[in-house]
């Protein structure tokens, strides 16, 4: 079918090329938004007009969820970025030349992520994820302060090692497939792999999965491998923190899920569940306690991302229709909420001229819109009732409790500790006497409130087609 | 049944592991880079041998890339960086060299122990290649862990990548896509590293009045 995959991939790629040439930053910010919007609409279109599966690209019920969510957050973040960069230019933190580079990299990253999500070839998926990583590395370091360079270097080294190990795992999967599917391209095509997976050598698959879990797990930010994540979130421009948390972590999670399906299809292979549950639980508990000791507002929410990725990996590790459903819902809600939080945090840090928690206080009185937006966002991310995350966390907990009460207790402990830490910090930021500069800020709050409204609506009412879709995908994940 | 093709492939794989060990005990940056060039050359010869013995001419591209790019261009560029940055020529390793070597031996034993039992179904060349490639990957990681200097971390990372390319070429008939992409990713990665290194110099090495002047110039 014509216009199948192409718009979602070609629009960001062409836009990246164009943005590299446009010198006027106002035009390029608009162009960035326009390209992201077109990519989002093209992704929506794929819901109804499913392109035919090829040897390199495909769209199925699982990845379309990630693509639509990703392009949507990509679009709203580009709108936030347009108002954010204005301020960065006037304060001289970024120069127009860097901004040109920034916009081109933004679209290149969107291209990489969409390609990784739509790849039907496990080699291609790896390449695309590597591309997305490299572009974000460059954007993290864009402020060129010693801290930003240090963060980008750390991200680059840890990300590269992770992704190198993932490639090793990919090669092992190919070796397992080769004896069944024969040599050549076929043995790397995912749809062919999953059909033939029951006949693969289980021990090779096991070894491959360990590498893939460590490799892609580094990109997800799972606990012992998370060291790059807080630095990368804190030192880069805030729109990049929003897409890192809202998109890139999801893409890595998606890659891991693909291989989990492969493993689950093979009866002799080890169950991927316990490994994922263990790493997920470790991330939740570790991040929950780390939340207490944070002094930087962006680092605070970066650790909260580690916690939430841990919950998702835990839920997908528990598997079963309910666990997978909860994991998918958690992922969607977290992407929307966390990017909304970073939208407010970006403007707050601009007003205060600092990211230190000690410099920020009493926001609800000085900046009601931003302050209450942040209150709503943090309430949502901490898992308070009217919001969607409450529902997904409740689902994870209750489905776990039915099968393994001890795991549910441990997870519940992590959630409660994180909840306490977040509310404690929120109290200092949003209420009390104002601290730091209180000047006005030129902020676009539309993306923020669109996200929060979606999360709020999802907490009250999930449309039946969405529920049916998620249930279907949950069954697919096994 | 051990043919000549098998024996040579095996010898080259062993040689690659040996060169990885040689990297571990280098205490000067220049000699470390020389060993990196040697590492990439051994990889190139080994890939070329696979190309010939498997009858897969496209692997020659990977071999040429390994020798031309990784054994010649990158070491030259790294040497330039060292000279331009004027960074320490001596490398401080975390822990002693003896300890690192022991850890390396342990890692090789570990990878043989992990890979050989699970790959009994695969053909012997690929099987032992994978085991030795894993050793090279782990030794590269060890190198990155034990060195603090940015340049030697990059060298460690490149030897790790060499191990992975070696594994990819050892797996018969693996699509070309991956090999080229690996080469490209190394290229991109290296550009990134280059940019970073120069930025690092700009920010850290010129803590003098000139830097302040430039800063004010930007603000004007």
Could you read off the pLDDT of A156-165 as tens digits, one per residue? 888 888 888 8
What average pLDDT score do residues B56-69 get? Answer: 80
The DSSP secondary structure of B27-41, one letter per residue, reads -BHHHHHHHHHHHHH
Query: Which among A365-369, A407-411, B79-83 has the top mean pLDDT?
Result: A407-411
Q: Is the pLDDT of residue B209 over 80?
A: no
Q: What value, to the nearest 5°, has the Cα angle with vertex A153 and ends A147 and A158?
A: 125
Whether residues B114 and A174 touch (CB distance < 8 A) is answered with no
Q: What is the pLDDT of residue B206?
A: 35
Gap between the terminal Cα atoms of chain A: 30
Whether residues A164 and B160 touch (CB distance < 8 A) is answered with yes
Q: Is the pLDDT of residue B69 over 50?
A: yes
Percent of chain B with pLDDT over 70: 70
Whether residues A127 and B150 touch (CB distance < 8 A) is answered with no
What average pLDDT score do residues B70-86 get? Answer: 78
Total tally of structural domains belonging to chain B: 1
Q: How far is CA A273 from CA A256, A315, A318, B218, in A?
A: 12, 9, 6, 54
In angstroms, the CA A292 to CA A236 distance is 22
Using one digit for the tens of pLDDT, what is the confidence trace for A257-304? 999 999 888 888 888 888 999 999 999 999 999 998 888 999 999 999
Within an 8 Å CB–CB cutoff, is residue B181 touching chain A?
Answer: yes
Q: Residue A137's closest chain B neighbor by CA?
A: B192
Among A131, A149, A203, select the one facing B118 at the smallest CB separation. A203
A192 three-state secondary structure? helix
Q: B131-145 burial by CB neighbour count: b if 16+ within 10 A, else e?
A: bbbbbbbbbbbbbbb
The DSSP secondary structure of A199-265, one letter per residue, reads GS-HHHHHHHHHHHHHHHHHHHT-GGG-THHHHHHHHS-HHHHHHIIIIIHHHHHHHHHHHHHHHHT
Weakest mean pLDDT among A80-94, A214-228, A296-310, A326-340: A80-94
Measured in degrees and rounded to the nearest 5, phi and psi for residue B147 equal -110, 140
The residues facing B93 across adjacent strands are B147
Q: What is the pLDDT of residue A45?
A: 87
Query: B79 lies in which domain range?
Result: 4-219
Closest CA to A323 of A402, A223, A220: A402
pLDDT band per the 50, 70, 90 thresholds, residue B180: low
Q: How far is CA A149 from CA A105, A248, B150, B204, in A?
A: 17, 20, 12, 11
Weakest mean pLDDT among A38-47, A237-246, B163-172: B163-172
Q: What is the pLDDT of residue B76?
A: 83
Q: Is the pLDDT of residue B6 over 60?
A: yes
Is residue A448 a contact partner of residue A382, using CB atoms and an 8 Å limit?
no
Interface test with A, best of B114, B175, B180, B217 (most A CBs within 10 A): B175
B173 φψ region: left (φ > 0), alpha (ψ -120 to 50), beta (else): left
pLDDT band per the 50, 70, 90 thresholds, residue B210: very low
The first and second tokens of residue A164, run together, are: 């190198």
Using one digit for the tens of pLDDT, what is the confidence trace for B9-58? 888 999 999 999 999 888 888 888 899 999 999 998 998 888 888 887 77
Within an 8 Å CB–CB cutoff, is residue A108 touching chain B?
Answer: no
Measured in degrees and rounded to the nearest 5, phi and psi for residue A266 equal -100, 115
Sign of the torsion angle spanned by Cα atoms A90, A25, A452, A66: negative
Q: Is the pLDDT of residue A172 over 60?
A: yes
The first and second tokens of residue B94, run together, are: 């975390």
Q: How high does pLDDT run on average in chain B?
A: 75
Neighbours of A237 (CB within 10 A): 23
How many Å separate Cα B120 from the centre of its chain?
Answer: 28
Q: How many residues does chain B have?
A: 220
Whether residues A141 and B196 touch (CB distance < 8 A) is answered with yes
pLDDT band per the 50, 70, 90 thresholds, residue A107: very high
The DSSP secondary structure of A341-366, one letter per residue, reads HHHHHHHHHHHHT--BGGG-B-HHHH
Q: Is the pLDDT of residue A332 over 60?
A: yes
Percent of chain A with pLDDT over 70: 99
Whether residues B181 and A201 touch (CB distance < 8 A) is answered with no
Percent of chain B with pLDDT over 90: 17
Q: What value, to the nearest 5°, has the Cα angle with vertex A306 and ends A317 and A392?
A: 55
Q: What is the pLDDT of residue B214?
A: 41
Among B114, B175, B203, select the one facing A188 at the smallest CB separation. B175
Closest CA to A241 of A292, A178, A190, A304: A304
Q: Is the pLDDT of residue A109 over 90?
A: yes
Is residue A51 a contact partner of residue A128, using CB atoms and an 8 Å limit?
no
In angstroms, the CA A276 to CA A282 distance is 10
Q: How high does pLDDT run on average in chain A?
A: 88
Within an 8 Å CB–CB cutoff, is residue A138 touching chain B?
Answer: yes
What average pLDDT score do residues A6-24 get? Answer: 87
pLDDT band per the 50, 70, 90 thresholds, residue A333: very high
Q: What is the pLDDT of residue A442?
A: 74
The better pLDDT of the pair A30, B66 is held by: A30
pLDDT band per the 50, 70, 90 thresholds, residue B211: very low
In angstroms, the CA A39 to CA A23 distance is 23
Quick one: DSSP state of residue A55?
S
The DSSP secondary structure of A120-185, one letter per residue, reads SBHHHHHHHHHHHHHHHHHHHGGG--HHHHHHHHHHHHHHHHHHHHHHHHHHHHHHHHHHHH-SSG
Cβ burial, residue A469 (10 Å; 0-12/13-18/19+) = middle
Within an 8 Å CB–CB cutoff, is residue A127 touching chain B?
Answer: yes
Weakest mean pLDDT among A83-92, A255-264, A408-417, B143-152: B143-152
pLDDT band per the 50, 70, 90 thresholds, residue B91: low
Q: Is the pLDDT of residue A354 over 80?
A: yes
The residues facing A361 across adjacent strands are A435
In angstroms, the CA A394 to CA A388 distance is 10
Closest CA to A160 of B81, B198, B182: B182
């Amino acid at each position: 079918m014509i216009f199948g995959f192409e718009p979602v991939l070609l629009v960001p790629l062409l836009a990246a090329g164009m943005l590299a040439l446009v010198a006027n930053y106002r035009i390029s910010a608009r162009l960035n938004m326009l390209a992201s919007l077109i990519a989002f609409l093209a992704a929506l279109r794929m819901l109804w007009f499913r392109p035919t599966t090829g040897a390199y690209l495909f769209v199925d019920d699982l990845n379309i969820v990630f693509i639509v969510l990703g392009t949507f957050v990509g679009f709203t973040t580009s709108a936030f970025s347009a108002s954010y960069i204005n301020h960065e230019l006037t304060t001289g933190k970024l120069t127009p030349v860097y901004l040109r580079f920034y916009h081109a990299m933004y679209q290149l990253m969107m291209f990489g992520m969409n390609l990784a999500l739509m790849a039907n070839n496990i080699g291609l998926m790896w390449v695309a994820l590597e591309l997305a990583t490299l572009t974000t590395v460059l954007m993290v370091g864009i402020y060129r302060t010693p801290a930003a360079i240090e963060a980008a270097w750390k991200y680059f080294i840890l990300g590269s090692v992770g992704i190198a190990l993932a490639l090793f795992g990919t090669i092992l999967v190919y070796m397992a497939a080769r004896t069944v599917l024969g040599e050549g391209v076929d043995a790397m095509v995912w749809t062919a792999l999953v059909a033939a997976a029951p006949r693969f050598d289980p021990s090779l698959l096991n070894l491959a999965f360990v590498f893939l879990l460590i490799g892609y797990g580094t990109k997800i930010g799972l606990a012992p491998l998370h060291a790059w994540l807080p630095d990368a979130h804190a030192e880069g421009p805030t729109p990049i923190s929003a897409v890192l948390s809202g998109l890139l972590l999801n893409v890595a999670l998606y890659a891991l899920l693909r291989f989990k399906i492969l493993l689950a299809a093979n009866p002799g292979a080890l169950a991927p569940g316990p490994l994922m549950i263990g790493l997920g639980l470790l991330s939740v508990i570790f991040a929950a306690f780390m939340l207490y000791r944070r002094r930087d507002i962006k680092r605070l929410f970066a650790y909260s991302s580690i916690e939430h990725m841990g919950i998702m990996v835990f839920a997908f590790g528990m598997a079963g229709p309910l666990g997978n459903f909860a994991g998918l819902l958690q992922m969607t809600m977290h992407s929307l909420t966390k990017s909304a939080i970073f939208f407010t945090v970006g403007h707050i840090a601009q007003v205060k001229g600092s990211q230190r928690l000690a410099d920020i206080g009493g926001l609800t009185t000085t900046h009601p819109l931003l302050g209450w937006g942040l209150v709503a966002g943090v309430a949502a991310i901490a898992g308070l009732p009217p919001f969607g995350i409450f529902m997904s966390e409740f689902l994870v907990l209750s489905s776990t409790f039915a099968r393994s009460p001890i795991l549910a207790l441990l997870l519940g402990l992590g959630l409660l500790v994180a909840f306490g830490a977040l509310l404690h910090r929120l109290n200092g930021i949003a209420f009390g006497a104002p601290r730091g500069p209180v000047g006005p800020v030129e902020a676009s709050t539309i993306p923020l409130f669109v996200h929060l409204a979606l999360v709020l609506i999802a907490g009250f009412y999930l449309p039946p087609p969405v529920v049916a879709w998620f249930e279907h995908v949950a069954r697919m994940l096994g | 049944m051990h043919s000549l093709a098998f024996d040579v492939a095996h010898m080259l794989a062993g040689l690659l592991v040996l060169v990885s060990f040689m990297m571990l005990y280098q205490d000067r940056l220049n000699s470390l880079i020389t060993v990196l060039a040697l590492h990439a050359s051994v990889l190139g010869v080994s890939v070329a041998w696979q190309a010939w013995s498997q009858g897969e001419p496209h692997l020659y591209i990977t071999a040429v890339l390994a020798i031309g790019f990784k054994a010649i261009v990158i070491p030259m560029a790294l040497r330039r960086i060292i000279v331009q940055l004027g960074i320490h020529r001596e490398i401080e390793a975390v822990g002693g060299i003896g300890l690192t070597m022991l850890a390396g031996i342990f890692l090789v034993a570990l990878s043989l122990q992990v890979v050989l039992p699970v790959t009994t179904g695969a053909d012997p060349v690929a099987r032992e290649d994978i085991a030795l490639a894993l050793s090279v990957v782990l030794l590269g990681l060890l190198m990155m862990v034990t060195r603090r200097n940015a340049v030697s971390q990059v060298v460690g990372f490149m030897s790790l990548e060499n191990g992975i390319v070696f594994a990819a070429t050892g797996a018969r008939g693996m699509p070309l896509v991956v090999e080229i992409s690996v080469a490209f990713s190394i290229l991109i990665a290296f550009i990134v590293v280059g940019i970073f290194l120069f930025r690092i110099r700009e920010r850290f090495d010129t803590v003098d009045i000139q830097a302040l002047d430039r800063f004010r110039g930007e603000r004007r």
